[in-house]
Structures are given as C-alpha cells and as structure tokens.
Structure 1
Amino acid sequence: MNEFPKVSGLLLVVLLTVPVLTRTSPAQAPKPSFDARRLDAFYAAEWEYELEHHPELATYVGDTRFNDRLSDYSAEEQAREATHAAEQLRRLRAMSTNGLDNQETISREMMLRQLAASVESYRLKEWEMPVSQMNGVHLDLASMYSQMPFRTVRDYRNYISRLRQAPRVFAQETAVMRLGMRDHLMEPRYLLEKVAVQANDIAASTPDKSPFAMPLAQFPKEISPTDQAKIRTELLDVIRQDVLPAYARFAVFVRETYAPAGRTEPGIWALPNGEELYRNAIREHVQTTMDGDAIFAEGMREVKEIQKQMLALAETQGFHDLTSFNAHILTDPKLHATSAKQLMGLYRHYEDQSQAKLLEVVPVAPKLRLEVVPMDSFRAPTAVPADYSPGSIASGRPGRVNVNLYNPSSRLLLNVEAIAYHEGLPGHHLQFSVADGLKDLPAFRRFASYDAYSEGWALYAEQLGHELGFYQDPYSEYGRLENEMWRSIRLVVDTGVHQKHWTRQQMVDFFKQHTAMDDQNIQTEVDRYISWPGQALSYRLGQQKILDLRAKARARLGKRFDIRQFHACVLSLGPVPLDILDENVTRWIDEQARTH
C-alpha cells in the first residue's frame, strides 16, 4: 500500500529506458501535430490548476511554489472544482484529435476519464465523508512534515505558515462533515470513534513531542544558530496556540457530535445511495466490467486454489491440514517478532537483498536511496504492517518503506519478506520511481493514481521475489502464499460486506478460517475494507492482469521473450487503467512478434 497527499480525481532515478520501445531518435522523431500540441497545452494548464488548488499535491511532486499554503477544504471549493471539471470535460470532448499518436491518444483518454470521475464523485457526494481511521485531514496534517523540504529558513517559514492554517482547515472540514450528517453519508460509528481517539492523542501531546515538531530534530548546518532559535520558538508557539487547540476541538466534535451519528452497519450498502457508491468505487479502483457478484465468485475460486498450494507446503513441514499448521504458526514464539529492532532489521535486509538482484528483472534500477523507517506512531495502531511513501525526483526526497512497530510482539514474521518486496523493491519503489522519471509524458499521467496498476504491480513483485530465488525459509514462502490468500480473501470480504451485507464478524471469521494471520493484522484489515470500499479489490485483479499479459507474451514470443523488456514495457506506460495496460502491452507483443 502507498501513501498519497490529498488530491482530486516518487528518489533520483535514471529513466527506465526500453530499447525495444525506442522507435526513433529525438532528431528523427516527427513533430507533434497541431492538435497534439493544443492538447498538451490543455493538459499543462489543467495540471497547473491542480497544483495551485491542491498545494499538498504540488509539494508531493516536488513543486515548492505553494509550500506556504494548504488546500481549501470547504464545500464551496468542492462545488467550484466540480464545475471546473465539468467545463474542462466539455472543452476536451470538443477538441480535434487529428494526427495523435498512441501515447497522445492515451493521454487524452486518461484526462477524459479523470475529469468525468471528478464530476461523478461530486454528484455522489463522496466528499461529504472526508475522514476515517485510515484517511483524513487529522492524519494528513500530522504527517505533512515528511513530504516537505527543510533545507533553508524559507522552508521552515513555509511549514509554519501551513500550520497557522490548521484552524481554518479543521473548521472547513467540520462544516463538510456536518453536511454528511445531514445527508446520512457517514462512516460506521465505531470507526469514527477511532478518529476521535487519533485526533485526541495528537492534541494531548506537548508541542515539542508532537509530530509537528519533527523538523526541529535536526537543522541543516547552513541555518545559523540564531535562525534556529527563532524558528524553534515560532514553530512551537504555532503548535501550542493554533495546531493542538484545533485538534482538540476536532476531537471533541467527532467524539460528541459526529461519531454518534455514524451508521450502524459496516457495509456501504446502508447509505442512501450505497449501491451506486460501491459500483463507482469498483470502477475507480479497479476499472473492471466485473460486478460485485462476479468478483466475489472469483475470490472464492482463488481461495480454494491457493489453499491447495499452502497445504502442499504445510505437508513438507509435517502437517496434514492447514488448520493444525496455522494453529502451530500462531502459537510458535519463534515465528513472532521479539522487538521493533528485529522488524526494522528484517525489512532492511530484504530490501538490500532485492536491490542486489534487481537488474535481473529490469534494465535500469532507481538511483536514489530507498529508506526503511518507522511508521509515524499516531498512524500505527490502525495501520497496515508496512506501507510506502513515494519519493520525488524534483525535490530529491527518497522513497520510504514505513514499518509499523506498534505492539511488535503481536506480529508474525512469516509475511515480512513478501511485504518488503511489495512496498520497496521490486514493488512500489520501482514503479513510482520509473513513473516519476517519464519526462516525455504529461505530468498528470506520471503522477496519476490507479490502484489496480500500482497495487497490482506491487503484488506481482512479491511473486518476482520467488522467481529471483528468495523465500529460502519455507515459512517465508508460506507467508508469500498467505499474502496471495490475503489478497484473494479481499475479493470475498470486500464484496461480502459492501454488497452481500456481511457483518464485520463474518469478515473476521473468513480470515481466521483461511489464514494464520495475527489478530492485530486481521482487525486493522477488515476495518480498512469497511472504511475504503473497493480499494482492496485492486491488488489481486491488477496482479492477475499483469500475469495474464506476461503469459500471453511468453506464449507468443517463445524463446525471444525477455522478462526485463516485458517489465520495461509495463512500467514505461506510467500508471494507467487496466484496459489501457492490456491494449498497449498487447500492441508491444505484436510488434515484438513482427520484428523478430
């Protein structure tokens, strides 16, 4: 899983060149048509609008011009942006498309979809449910420091300016949440109670121990002691006078007013337009024509198939059924973490191991460091075992694998290796770094968010680790298979709760029946699916699309199939919907078949 700033609708890296995709040199390349240049200007103007209206996005991609601002979170701004998207959609549809090449056609199609999705999201009032235990301004502001540069006095001033706006942002978000109460668009009450605890824990911290003071831990040597003292005083004053009181007011509102109005059923079906919201969530996260019933059936089929593989491995360890093997795993202390230090060491070891063999699966590796760091403590209790925060070429910010160190002794070790490859290399870190470096593509494509593509690649990367000869410990291999099971179970429980009216306990029971996952992980997982409908479907369906395309390429090209060039093709498109990925990789396969 990866972390993104609030947006509508990555490590310095050498661009992953794809020799087989380089058709002409720059000197020989045909000039874009008039209509292509006009469309490029449209995309550039739309990207500028996005950056200006979402300063956090600008910071994320390395554009520092708006680092002293925060977004307008008001309902009025939501309406203005929806109106803007509708007008831009009308304009784009009317623009001529003569002379567009393949990449230019992809860009137009993706912009059309993004604008249409913005209009649809506003119509469905998804924006009236802006917070959960997984997402929301209360978490975004607290982790904002990790995205911002702190090299100059100006950088610190920008950060202080943003923090001064916290009261305004919370007031706007609270007003939007009241609209959600009015329209009965609410997360489940028990999850909103977790939001109140998160906000209150941050509000209760002292200014110097709060996450907002993190930039004071180490100043660049270029900033004088005098300026350091001024910055420290001013920043702590802002935290004390503006930020923490805003969090305290927000926590009271959520605990006493908002959470009590939350829905009682876990599934999104219980909302006034719940069925339509879920269909839209599937469309946004997976871009599939499959409906919920078909996805549920696919999940059940995959669960049975992976069970067979898991049982075969269990038998090599002397167990004749998965129930007894899973019980052994859950009770064997050697298979549980003993400390936070041990967890950090394992993740770092596996990232180093993957880095050493990365060029066996791609032509060029990312050059900027990949950091393995502890997850922010205010996120950890309700977060996944680890996640990824993309870096940025423009700002030089490294990519980060954030390791959850909350209650380490409750965490199993068997899936740590697979998660490391998923979040770091050859998973998210590789994919996002390559996308950031695709300078020939419009910026809106390089930084697009398509879960089925990015999470599908990351889950595919777990299997690549197996093909690279990793998972030498049979329990780590079992952990990889359990991760496959985990993602297949998601197809069942996500559609189960949001379409088939499953209870939360049914979700938990299904996990316990089919995995040896620790209870801490199961509890946070089911809550995540409840609060984030459809997102969990993207992993397995995206991975399956990549595997299907690889099988097609291998069958068509035979001995000429080159796994590095196949990966280069997939990654060189940048984040795209699955149907566009399918169409373009199939085109590449056809070209390879013709030219050899």
Structure 2
Amino acid sequence: MMMKRFGLMVCGVLLMAACKQAKESNPNFGKLLESYYEDRLVLYPFEATAIGDNRYNDKLPNDGSAEFMKQAQNFYKIYINRLHSFKRDDLSEQDKLSYDVLDYQMRVQLDSYNYPFEQMPFNQMFSLPLTVGQFGSGASAQPFKTVKDYNNWLKRLSAFQIWADTAVANFQKGVKAGIVMPHALVIKMIPQMESMVVSDATKSLFYKPVKNMPKGFSAADKQTLTEAYKKCYLDCSCSYL
C-alpha cells in the first residue's frame, strides 16, 4: 500500500511537469492545469523542492493529521469537479491526454482516503524520515546556498518534529486496530531510524551543510546557524526516537 502511495507521488510530479510545460489548445483548460499545478505545490511542498521550485522550502505539512487529510480530500474533490465541467470530446488530443491522466490520478487519490494509510506512516523503502535525511544532508534537492536557505531548513525540520509525533500516534492506532506491516519489514526500519539518532550533532548526516557553509557567510551568521543547527538536530533526534 505504501508503494502505491509513493507511485502516486511520482505520478503527480510527472503530471505537474507536463501541465507546466504543455501548450494547451483550450485556454480555459490550460488555466485549470496551471491552477492545479500551483495549488498542488502548496499542498505538497516537498514535491516543489524536488522539481527545483524553491518557494516552499520551509514548509513541511503534517500529512498524517486529520486536518491535512481533509484539506487534501477537498483539494481533489474541487479539482475533479472542475475537470468534469469540461466536455472531454470537445478537447484536443493533447488536452484529452491531460484530462485522462489528471482524472485517473485524482480518482485514485480520493479512493486512497477510504483506507487508513495514515496508520502506517512509512515503511522500510519509502518514508519521510528517509527523505528528510536525504534533503538535510545537503546533497539532494534542498538548497544550502544562502542564509535564507539554511533558515528554511531549520523551519522545515522543526515542523518534522510535529509530523513525527503524529506518525507515532498513528502507528499506535494501527497497532491497536491490527493494521501493521510484516515483522520482516519492520525490523529493517529500526536500524534506518536509529542510524539518524546521535548524541553529538557534529557527527550527524544532517550536519554536513554546517560543515560546508559558503565562504561568503559572515562570522556572525556562521555562529548563529551552527548553534541553531546543533540544537535543532539534538532536539529532533531526542523527540523522534
């Protein structure tokens, strides 16, 4: 089930890229695609960062919360209704393809909310904790070039602590309801999580951006950011596991 959710995320990124680049023959339909593209980035800011759109690099939604799931459902309901306001047969061939892909994606996303996926927040292959590790290492899509970039990551990581608390609560609900993954998979997740917990922040994978701060940063900025990163990573490690 988690693989399915990850596949939908990838599909969404590809669809957004197509929507952004395509020159649609129906201008109103093109506006719908553009609007969907923009609003989806707000809802899923990690997808924005992954495709090089840095407007939401400080955002990390609590996607396991009831509030977020309701917001996401409303998003897809609104857009599927807007999509169905167009007569498919009246669209160009390119528009028809975009229509079909978007229609399929939104139907699958809406159907996914009939199942308690939030009670299994991640697995051994795909999880936000692993994504956070990749982004926070400074070797992925999250930029660390300016002071603002560094502060963006601090804000995003602070939000991760809220996400983690919700994930723990959701896992516990799943255990009580008997909605759990096989033991063979769970035991692979434990060392993945433990490897990111350190007592010395300077030895953390996440500390690499601090070690690689741009030379143009002032001494004051370097000191302030270094102290903030040390505190944030230690707090995050302790609260998560």
The answer on 1:126 being equivalent to 2:126 is no
Contact (CA 8 Å) 1:5, 1:60: kept in 2 or not? no
Give the alignment's TM-score, normalised by structure 2.
Answer: 0.82
Decide which of 152, 160, 184 is 1:158's aligned counterpart.
152
Aligned partner of 2:82 in structure 1 is 91
User: Displacement of 1:180 after TM fit?
Assistant: 2.5
Q: CA deviation at 1:125?
A: 3.0
Residue of structure 1 equivalent to 2:53: 63
Aligned residue type for 1:174: V
Q: Of 10, 27, 38, which residue of structure 1 is paired with 2:28? A: 38
* Unaligned ranges ≥5, structure 1: 11-30, 249-596
CA distance in 2, matches of 1:101, 1:199: 49
Number of aligned residues: 222
2:224 is the alignment partner of 1:230: yes
CA 1:113–1:205: 2 relative to 1, 3 Å: farther
Tell me which of 65, 70, 95 is aligned to 1:104.
95
Q: 2:62 touches 2:163 (CA, 8 Å); kept in 1?
A: yes
Partner amino acid, structure 2, of 1:158: N
1:6–1:174 CA distance, 2 compared to 1 (3 A): farther
Closer, same or farther: CA 237–6 of 1 in aligned 2, 3 Å: farther
Task: Determine the C-alpha separation between the residues in 1 that align with 2:24 and 2:232.
Answer: 51
Answering whether residue 64 of structure 2 is matched by residue 74 of structure 1, we say yes
Counterpart of 1:143 in structure 2 is: 134
Matching residue of 1:239 = 233
Residue deviations 1:289-337, cap 9 Å, x none? xxxxxxxxxxxxxxxxxxxxxxxxxxxxxxxxxxxxxxxxxxxxxxxxx
Contact 2:24 2:30 in 1 (8 A): no
Displacement of 1:52: 0.8
Instruction: Give, in angstroms, the shift of residue 99 of structure 1.
Output: 4.7
Asked if the contact 1:202–1:244 (Cα under 8 Å) also holds between the matched residues in 2, the reply is yes
| One-letter amino acid matched to 1:228 | K
What amino acid maps onto 1:73 in structure 2? D
Which residue identity is paired with 2:133? A
Query: How far apart are residue 184 of structure 1 and its match?
Result: 2.5
C-alpha contact (below 8 Å) 2:64/2:121 kept by paired residues: no
Using a 3 Å threshold, how does the CA distance of structure 1 residues 32 and 214 change in structure 2: closer, same or farther? Answer: closer
Question: What secondary structure does 1:165 align onto?
Answer: helix
Q: Which has the larger radius of gyration?
A: 1
Q: CA deviation at 1:98?
A: 6.0
1:52 maps to which residue?
42
Q: CA deviation at 1:168?
A: 0.4
CA deviation after TM superposition for structure 1 residue 91, in Å: 2.7
In structure 2, C-alpha distance between the alignment counterparts of 1:153 and 1:187, rounded to whole Å: 41
Partner Cα distance (1:55, 1:32) in 2: 25
Unaligned runs of 5+ in 2: 1-5, 14-22
Q: Which has the higher helix share?
A: 2
Match of 1:113 among 104, 107, 111: 104
In the alignment, which residue of structure 1 is the partner of 2:211?
Answer: 217
**How far apart in 1 are the matches of 2:81 and 2:141?**
34
Structure 2 CA distance for partners of 1:32 and 1:189, relative to 1, 3 Å: closer
CA distance in 1, matches of 2:101, 2:70: 22
Instruction: Provide the C-alpha distance between the structure 1 equivalents of 2:78 and 2:148, rounded to a whole number of angstroms.
Output: 37
CA 1:142–1:5: 2 relative to 1, 3 Å: farther
Cα shift at 1:109: 0.7
Amino acid at match of 1:91: R
Q: 1:213, 1:178 → 2: CA distance?
A: 31
Distance 1:6 1:197, change over 3 A: farther
- Helix, strand or coil for the counterpart of 2:33? helix
Q: Deviations over 1:152-191 (max 9, x none)?
A: 1110111111122222010121222233224422111232
Q: CA deviation at 1:148?
A: 0.7
Contact 2:165 2:240 in 1 (8 A): no
* Residue identity (%): 25
Whole-Å separation in 2 of the counterparts to 1:205 and 1:44: 46
Task: Give the Cα–Cα distance (whole angstroms) in 1 for the partners of residues 8 and 132 of structure 2.
Answer: 10
Matched residues in 1 for 2:193 and 2:75: separation?
Answer: 33
CA contact (8 A) 1:166 1:246 kept: no
Distance in 1 between the 2:158 and 2:85 partners? 43
Q: Is the 8 A contact 2:24 2:94 kept in 1?
A: no
| AA in 2 matched with 1:67 | N
* Cα distance change on mapping 1:5 and 1:60 into 2, 3 Å: farther
For 1:127 and 1:116, locate their aligned partners in 2 and report how far apart those are by CA, in whole Å: 18
C-alpha distance 7-176 of structure 1, shift in aligned 2 (>3 A): farther
